[in-house]
Copies of this chain bind each other. A is one copy, B any other.
Amino acid sequence: MYRTHTCGELRMAHVGQKVTLSGWVAHNRNKGFLCFIDLRDRYGITQLAFSESDNKDLLAKAVELGREFVISVSGTVRERESKNPQNATGDIEIAVEELTLLNSSKVPPFTIEDQTDGGEDIRMQYRYLDLRRNAVRKNMELRHKIARAVRNYLSDENFIEVETPVLIKSTPEGARDFVVPSRMNEGQFYALPQSPQTFKQLLMVSGFDRYFQIVKCFRDEDLRADRQPEFTQIDCEMSFVEREDILQTFEGLVKSLFKDVLNISMDEVPRMLYSQAMELYGSDKPDVRFGMPFCDLTDIVKNNGFAVFDQAEKILAINATGASVFTRKQIDELTEFVKRPQIGASGLIYCRVEADGSLKSSVDKFFPTEELAKWVSKCGSKPGDLILVMAGTTEKVRKQLCELRLELGNRLGLRDPFNFKPLWVLDFPLLEQDEETGHWHAMHHPFTSPLPEDIDLMQTNPGAVRANAYDLVINGVEIGGGSIRIHDRGLQEKMFELLGFTPESATAQFGFLMNAFEYGAPPHGGIAFGFDRLCSLFGGSDSIRDYIAFPKNNSGRDVMIDAPAPLDEIQLKELGISVRN
């Protein structure tokens, strides 16, 4: 037997017991006639003691043990002379009587500690050692805990987890599919699902009523730092529901997760219309951990002879509470921040509301105090605040001011990752128009239902049609999104037509779904949550990669196993494909 206990288990109550432990040598402190080893496993660290007086040969063996060697020891639990209250097992140690070397280890390329000396690249190449670090393994444990809580909550709410297929059919709509050549059907390909969307809708047609699945999805996109070619989704769908039913059900899920996993009691989730979110925060996923909404100064500041404002479509301000103390240098930094190419603003105008109430602006020349007072009044600024103003086209200035607001939130310490502020964003536009081609695209996907009262607008003013859709945003991150679906063949056909499908192409790709709608499709809707993102949010991290056991890098490579890789000619031939030159 390799162990009677784990390395996280022994306490004063075990003193005097004979035990066997197995684990990794985390530290080996050789004191000459004494030697202490910290033995580590998943559950904790236990101190092993060897001494010359007890057993000289054993001591000699022990001092030879290097970092990350795997050993098994037997001995007697005893009270420590100098206890370590930081460690759950810190009251005791093992007086070792037997020692077995189970495996040796080369010196690891980085230290196996919470704070490691290894860079990202080397840690990814040796991911199996990176995962041995407590901090990284804790992330995976958190992920497991959340998944379990999701499954238990939804199962208790009568949802059934159904596995949908991974080998499906390619649909050129949306992001690029990964495809899989079929050997048995030469010249034909499966595709990996970008989401189980059509299958979950078919399950509703089948009367499954409440479905969920924690499921891998795949998108062959050019990767950004926070995207992975394979990612995990909590995919859900319900029948005979209106939007309100879905919001209630999944607000319940989210509250229950915060309670179960982080012991946080969450209030009712506030709601905001898409149009409000854009107006007040310049974003469809506003971070509402802090205020600082946009104030529209357009009417107040135009036609005062200041060209920047006079020529702008929109002039928006935010009031940074208590930020009048910002130095000139700090304000210059903010100006540089918005002028970076990623944001692309031409400048930033400020107005300090000094502690004594006096006003000091970078555009004093054009705006005397009585004019600036209008800004203060409009923004509701108090002495000690700082008003920051940007101008431009509505779309651009919203985006830019949104970035500035978030940056100010960072600088003012208003974005504590463990202060969770969820928000429902409602009534998204159904369609967006490609600026160049004029084509309409589905903002979510082509199965999203318009709001019933907007259906008529589909013919006359597609851009004004609101979707019966909703996003769950937490701390400025889109955690989930969904919609009431179209369940009527006629409406679905109209939607495909608007999106530029010919009847033939719609049938070729989605005929099975439209046929299904003719056999008694119930009203239904659903939501999908980004599971990787949810885990990183709960962990207080920005990086989803830290919450994926074996992530890929920004080129879509797994550097540990060295994938993807070339195939040999025999394999290609068997699959009926060849590589282009």
Contacts and interface: CB of A to CB of B under 8 A. Distances in A.
6 contacts: A169-B562, A177-B571, A179-B567, A184-B220, A216-B216, A512-B561
A555 B216 CA distance: 25
B520 A488 contact: no
A108 B180 contact: no
Nearest 5 Cβ contacts at the A-B interface: A131-B206, A105-B520, A169-B563, A188-B564, A2-B240
Contacts of A573: 580
User: What's the number of copies of this chain in the assembled complex?
Assistant: 2
Nearest to A170: B567
Nearest to A104: B520
Nearest to A136: B206
Interface stretch (A156-164, A385-393, A470-478): A156-164
B103 A522 contact: yes
Contacts of A190: 178, 563-564
A102 B523 contact: yes
A565 B169 contact: yes
B102 A550 contact: no
A62 interface: no
A487 interface: yes
A182 interface: yes
Given A2-B523, A163-B216, A550-B164, A185 B22 contact: no
A561 B508 CA distance: 9
Most interface-central of A167, A168, A576 (chain B CB within 10 A): A167
B42 A566 contact: no
A516 B70 CA distance: 13
Contact of A180 (B165, B179, B521): B179
A179 B178 contact: no
Interface stretch (A139-147, A308-316, A362-370): A139-147
Nearest to A559: B512
A240 B176 contact: no
A520 B103 contact: yes
Contacts of A451: none
Interface in A422-468: none
A68 B519 CA distance: 7
Contacts of A24: 207, 520, 522
A95 to B, nearest CB: 21
Given A128-B519, A512-B562, A571-B179, A163 B42 contact: no
Given A488-B103, A579-B577, A185 B70 contact: no
A199 interface: yes
A12 B133 CA distance: 60
Interface string A249-269: 000000000000000000000
A576 B576 contact: no
B183 A176 contact: yes
Given A167-B556, A176-B574, A185-B564, 4 more contacts: A131-B206, A132-B207, A152-B152, A573-B580
A78 interface: no
Contact of A167 (B165, B203, B563): B563
A552 B518 contact: no
Interface string A541-581: 00000001110100111101111111110010111111110
A172 B571 contact: yes
A202 interface: yes
Nearest to A102: B523
A300 B407 CA distance: 92
A225 interface: no
Contacts of A499: none
A3 interface: yes
A485 to B, nearest CB: 12
A182 B562 CA distance: 13
A131 B518 contact: no
A209 B41 contact: yes
A44 B69 CA distance: 60
Contacts of A126: 519
A88 interface: no
Interface string A214-229: 0010101011000001
Contacts of A179: 180-181, 567, 571, 575
